[in-house]
Structure 1
């Protein structure tokens, strides 16, 4: 519609000019130095119009030519991007299938034209790891970081995982500590740190990690409880190996009160007390713990500890028969306590009853030693 109006306007203008020129043709004179050119006015007007029309046509042609070039470049880029996506998909599939060489090859071929080179480099690093090419792995990880500096956590986690899988525990730990400084509340970083501390038996650092693991709920409840027990058992055993009694006591006091009642921890600590000739204290600890929670391992240990009054210890243990009369561990405990009280017949009866419920090499061994004492 606009073009039609423009065309009609130009047509009217030309008709009007034509009528004017017919009445008075006029002329245009061009002079330069000694040269002069005289031409009719209508010729100048026509030439000017033709010039502008040609200029417009050429300009439009050049613009369209530029658009075609731009469209071609866009098409070529999209084609390269599409092919890069196809190669990346193929490489990721080959990585999942365990075809490490092919995966690495396709992922690297696509990296130049893909819009997410980070994925290609990280995946290529995994493939190189599986091929045992650790220098190439580290090179790809470095390039991944250069490709997207903002993805430091993603690159670092991949590096730590690969180092951990290759049993490069110290290197993985260094990587994770750096990441932990960058993101102290990152759940997966905390979980990997926990795994490495366990592998390295670094219970001191694992203990410092426990509050964060609990607060951020990195592990399910039961799994966290198990980890907590492993941590303090490890600390107790390491302190005991150092032959420093005060260190064991220090660790024990650091353990939360409710956790001190856990049989696995209590057994380690009670055995330490027995080695240190603090059996009275050990006997009291075990007895108090059994009042709250029955545990066969604690009962068995109670039969080995020598309390202040061994006769009262036997009498106390015999009270448990009312609730646990058919418990093999309790009967073994009573057999041992009877031996310590020199009650051979009673000891034999307890041990044989225990064997009738659950034959065990340990009970047979105690009974054999008893029979030897009795001359049988």
Structure 2
């Protein structure tokens, strides 16, 4: 719309100028050699305008002729690139669909049309992996690694290959190199962290968590339990005061870490600090009851007989009274002390339709020990076996879905 207004305005201005020139009397005289031209100003202006238009057209024609070869080359290159990108798109779709033959065909076509573009090399590497040709994939990933714009993608491909063949040392080296290129990649940070744990580099893993949290690649909520796990693992490889200091830090970071709490309690017991160990176990039990904690608790309470274990279990239960593990702990100690009523009152409240195999086995033991009822005991054992079988069947499905 604006262009039309501009054109109308220009035409109006031109018409106004033409009218002005035509209304003003006067003659223009042009002499050149033996030639003499006399005309009005309006006619001269019109002739000059026509001349300028002709010159402009001739100049445009000259430019078009001069640029024709390059234009043809550009058109051919544009068409070649368009076909190359079409092949690239089809190849990526084929890789996603798992069609190895189509992916390989389109990868070769894209490589021919687009030369060594990053996406082309990536498609060739993925196509080779889809065919099971790891050597060819390694060649492409290595070529990508040598170019600055594709170095990270090449390293990621080589890293995935190394992890697939469980070459953890090579994986660690590649992950560290990739981390230097892109320290803000959450996938890479988590991979490097797992590799440090896999190779027992607890200090390096902890430093990585600190840097990633500071850089806000990982949140503090995510790294807290992980840092506690690292410190716990590190404490297992140390002894004495160093082990005590490290594992205490782990428990301070994550009071619900069962392994760290149990190790700290054992170290305190070894030093004769039983009351302190009891407090550690009770604090962790309030957050995460676990059979390992119960065993350490009985040691910390110096339970020398079954009745003392029952009393200790009842005291521990008060830290988390509604948790099934609290009831199981009391029931286990009660069965050992032959307190059948105490055992039954704790087990029956959690022995419903969703009872765990562990509860079913304890019920079987109780029925046979208290009443000598082998039939009911067998019923509970069969139920425990069914639950174990169901869990074993569900586990691979869950892992595959993950």
Q: What residue number does 1:356 align with?
A: 348
Q: Is the 8 A contact 1:283 1:306 kept in 2?
A: yes
Q: Is the 8 A contact 2:94 2:102 kept in 1?
A: yes
Q: What residue number does 1:305 align with?
A: 299
Kindly report which structure 2 residues correspond to 1:318-329, keeping only aligned pairs within 5 A, or say none: 318=314, 329=325
Kindly report which structure 2 residues correspond to 1:34-73, keeping only aligned pairs within 5 A, or say none: 65-73=65-73
Structure 2 residue matching 1:174: 3-state secondary structure: helix
Kindly report which structure 2 residues correspond to 1:252-263, keeping only aligned pairs within 5 A, or say none: 252-255=247-250, 257-263=252-258
Q: Would you say 1:163 and 2:182 are equivalent positions?
A: no
Structure 2 residue matching 1:295: 3-state secondary structure: coil
Deviations, residues 124-165 of structure 1 (Å, cap 9, x unaligned): 11222232322222221233345x524433432343234334
Structure 2 residue matching 1:111: 3-state secondary structure: helix
Whole-angstrom distance in 1 between the partners of 2:108 and 2:139? 12
Deviations, residues 340-366 of structure 1 (Å, cap 9, x unaligned): 9xxx46x33322323323334357669
Deviations, residues 208-247 of structure 1 (Å, cap 9, x unaligned): 322123333444665434433443443345x28xxx5566
Q: TM-score, with normalisation over the residues of structure 1?
A: 0.64
Q: What residue number does 1:209 align with?
A: 208
Structure exhibiting the larger radius of gyration computed from Cα positions? 1
Going from structure 1 to structure 2, the CA distance change for 1:151 and 1:228 (only over 3 Å counts) comes to same
Q: What residue number does 2:35 align with?
A: 16
Unpaired runs of at least 5, structure 1: 1-10, 18-56
Q: What is the Cα deviation at residue 97 of structure 1?
A: 1.2
Structure 1 residue matching 2:144: 3-state secondary structure: helix
Structure 2 residue matching 1:257: 3-state secondary structure: helix
Q: What residue number does 2:137 align with?
A: 137
Q: What is the Cα deviation at residue 174 of structure 1?
A: 0.9
Q: Is the 8 A contact 1:125 1:140 kept in 2?
A: yes
Q: What is the Cα deviation at residue 78 of structure 1?
A: 1.2
Structure 1 residue matching 2:35: 3-state secondary structure: helix
Q: Is the 8 A contact 1:122 1:140 kept in 2?
A: yes
Unpaired runs of at least 5, structure 2: 1-29, 37-57, 352-358, 373-402
Going from structure 1 to structure 2, the CA distance change for 1:162 and 1:327 (only over 3 Å counts) comes to closer
Q: TM-score, with normalisation over the residues of structure 2?
A: 0.61
Q: Would you say 1:103 and 2:99 are equivalent positions?
A: no
Whole-angstrom distance in 1 between the partners of 2:95 and 2:31? 74
Q: Is the 8 A contact 1:283 1:305 kept in 2?
A: no
Q: What residue number does 2:246 align with?
A: 251
RMSD value, Cα: 4.5
